Chain A
Amino acid sequence: MTQTLASEPPLLEVDDLQTSFIVGEGQDVRAVDGVNFVVRAGETLAIVGESGSGKSVTSLSIMRLLPKNIGRISRGTIRLRGKDLVTLSDREMRAIRGNDIGMIFQEPMTSLNPVHTIGTQIAEVVMQHDKLKKKAAHQRAIEMLELVGIPEPVKRADQYPHQMSGGMRQRAMIAMALACEPSVLIADEPTTALDVTIQAQILDLMRNLQKKMGMAIVFITHDLGVVAEMADRVVVMYAGQVVETGTVEEIFTRPLMPYTSGLMQSIPRMGESEKKLRLQTIPGYVPLLTKLPGGCRFRTRCAFAEDRCAVAEPPLEELESGRSVRCIRWRELELKTKASA
């Protein structure tokens, strides 16, 4: 697969996505509120945010896996190669899942079936999507297990999920998600539950598979270390909205939104013990979606908030292609950080 140029139409385009949940009688909250981003072929886009930011709901919306009767996409489009997924029937969507978009989760047991062997499960996916015969599909399953670095794949194919360690299950889930060579892989906190040495293995594996198979990865995480290592571009979310986008370089070295820079400063970094610095913090807590402050949603925790931040919700200002920020003060603030540096 060849690298797609930036000028080509994006592979996946999320436009003005709004996802609502019913929380009480006739009461809706917008867990995702007007989210835009694009994913290009072969790149890794990280969606970063804390709990309640809407990052996972965004990924479930793309997969159309929202809990029935409670959550729904209330506005916007999700286009895969130009085709809007929001309007597809459940049946059409099933064909997209697996074939075009694969997904892996934090907890592998949410997508692995405990009563079937790993080999059978992967073979089933392959049979559905590639119209392979049972024997060929099983062979393909073994190849996939080998590809994701599971030792003794022939033996492992006949094992059940509970017979595997957490890291092995994660590999098996990746094997299943990639069995049909999807063009987009959505990875929702895929390494959060794993130990660091196992996380390093899985991240390494994902990078290698991406090189080999050329799929785009949407990586949803709260771990900025993982973002720095994996992402080409970053979308930062806060309280259901995108608050900043940019390349990984821009986001880490020149954050424009006070929330992004607050996050960067609040993470303890290794190798700083000699300095014994106090950690910078963002005061307060992420607001509940039912109790959002008027105006800028971050203003109650923001060190730079002024009265005018409460007047109206700031728009997501697009500075250049792929670079945007939601803050009415970003120009002055940038000056300030430059001056103080």
Chain B
Amino acid sequence: MSMDHKNAQHKRRDVLLQVSNLKKYFPIRGGVLNRVVNNVKAVNGVSFNVLRGEVVGLVGESGSGKTTVGRTILRLEEPTSGTIDFDGTDIGKLAKPVMRRYRKRMQIVFQDPYASLNPREKIRTMLGHALAVHNIGTAADRDDRIVALLEQVGLSGDYLDRFPHEFSGGQRQRIGIARALAVEPEFIVADEPVSALDVSIQAQVVNLLDDLKSKFNLTMLFIAHDLAVVEHISDRVVVMYLGRIMEIAPTRTLYRAPNHPYTKALLSAVPSPDIHAKRDRVILTGDIPSPINPPSGCVFRTRCPIAIPDCAQIVPELKEVSPGQFSACIRTAP
């Protein structure tokens, strides 16, 4: 596959994460015997890599599988098949105790800052726990570390003894970020970290992530549906649809010259805050099909404005259409 060849080239540029042919199926059980009657093919053969120090944006609509990719990489979900190579080790097959060592190096920031913090734990306990689990620092210097962490995410050290409910949504997301940073990870999966926040607060958190990334040389998988936010923070972008990758490209290329018809439609659907912008909008008809019975051939073909009969027969592979830009479409990337 051409993709593997390209990945081999990337490897020289220090690949931290290499996901290959990753699949995650969720079984649907039914009948009296509770047998597996079908599968939700949430992630259906996904390959991409993330270079050290790079921010890769992962975009897609609901049902695209983007969140499942993020969770499976961290082994919060068990992969059905495929490999997840993190710094040279296939962590997809590691036993739980061994995996714990890798957990310290990989952290997640969740979308909902209201649901992801334990309401009964003070900030001191919560962050202290994260440090203790991974044996970071001594009990004595733990408070100092926590205060430093809070200050790094723009919160006052005075907040040590407060509970999550005493904070606003934006502040809670900062606490979520502090918790992820506590163990000094190399890699962070940020799963819709600003979607639940107000506009004026979103910008604060995006800037914070941007700063932390440079300061700690973090590598990040930034999962979001907001294409403008993704453009702002990412070096490269992966576009998913119905469990598969449609396009991968350097950010600038993707936004200026998207190749895949889905990427084009997705970008043109975003309402522009520029009132003088008049764009040719591609309005897709219909809904995302069910991931239980995805369409044959190209999964996007049922909504694609340029689909031809062949699209139902051929599963398109990612092909390089310009340096670093890969598209899975037999029409635009033959």
Q: Identify the A interface with B (CB < 8 A).
A: 50-51, 165-168, 195-201, 203-204, 222-229, 248-249, 252-253, 262-264, 266-274, 278-283, 285-286
Contacts and interface: CB of A to CB of B under 8 A. Distances in A.
B271 A223 contact: yes
Contact of B272 (A50, A195, A204, A225): A225
15 contacts: A165-B287, A165-B288, A168-B287, A222-B198, A224-B273, A225-B272, A228-B271, A228-B272, A252-B275, A268-B226, A268-B228, A270-B228, A270-B272, A279-B232, A286-B200
Given A223-B271, A228-B275, A281-B200, A270 B231 contact: yes
B12 to A, nearest CB: 25
B214 to A, nearest CB: 11
A225 B61 CA distance: 18
Given A196-B61, A281-B200, A282-B200, 7 more contacts: A200-B281, A223-B271, A263-B199, A264-B273, A269-B273, A273-B255, A274-B252
A212 B281 CA distance: 21
Contacts of A225: 270-273
Contact of B199 (A198, A224, A248, A272): A224
Contacts of B198: 50-51, 222, 286
Given A204-B283, A278-B207, A281-B204, A270 B271 contact: no
- Residue with the greatest number of chain A CB neighbours at <10 A, chosen from B227, B266, B283: B283
Nearest to B229: A268
B231 A273 contact: yes
Contacts of A197: 61, 265-266, 269, 283-284, 303
B255 A270 contact: yes
Shortest 7 CB-CB contacts between residues of A and residues of B: A225-B271, A195-B61, A266-B203, A50-B198, A282-B200, A200-B269, A279-B203
Given A228-B274, A229-B272, A269-B273, A196 B201 contact: no
Interface string B270-299: 111111000001011101100000000000
Nearest to B265: A197
B251 interface: yes
B200 A266 contact: yes
Given A224-B273, A226-B271, A248-B275, A285 B203 contact: no
Nearest to B250: A273
- Residue with the greatest number of chain A CB neighbours at <10 A, chosen from B170, B251, B267, B275: B275
Contacts of A282: 200, 203
Contacts of A253: 275
Nearest to B207: A279
B231 A267 contact: no
B147 interface: no
B273 A267 contact: yes
Contacts of A50: 198-201
B227 A266 contact: no
B54 to A, nearest CB: 15
Given A51-B198, A285-B201, A272 B272 contact: no
A233 to B, nearest CB: 12
Interface in B201-258: 201-204, 206-207, 210, 225-229, 231-232, 251-252, 255-256
Contact of A196 (B202, B207, B270, B285): B270
A271 to B, nearest CB: 6
B164 to A, nearest CB: 15
Contacts of A224: 199, 273
A51 B62 CA distance: 24
A279 B198 CA distance: 14
A226 B228 CA distance: 14
B168 interface: yes
B72 interface: no
Contacts of B281: 200
- Residue with the greatest number of chain A CB neighbours at <10 A, chosen from B168, B202, B273, B274: B273
- Residue with the greatest number of chain B CB neighbours at <10 A, chosen from A229, A271, A274, A286: A271
A41 to B, nearest CB: 23
A200 B283 contact: yes
B210 A267 contact: no
B20 interface: no
Contacts of B168: 285-286
B171 interface: yes
A60 to B, nearest CB: 20
A222 B203 contact: no
A222 B273 contact: no
A228 B204 CA distance: 23
Contacts of A198: 61, 287
A200 B251 CA distance: 23
Nearest to B200: A282
Given A268-B228, A273-B251, A281-B207, A262 B270 contact: no
Contacts of B284: 197, 200-201
Given A201-B284, A279-B207, A269 B274 contact: yes
B24 to A, nearest CB: 20
Given A268-B228, A272-B232, A228 B273 contact: yes
Contacts of A270: 227-228, 231, 255, 267, 270, 272
A282 B170 CA distance: 12
A236 to B, nearest CB: 12
A252 B273 contact: yes
A271 B255 contact: yes
B182 to A, nearest CB: 23
- Residue with the greatest number of chain B CB neighbours at <10 A, chosen from A50, A270, A281: A270
B203 A268 contact: yes
B222 to A, nearest CB: 12
A253 B276 CA distance: 10
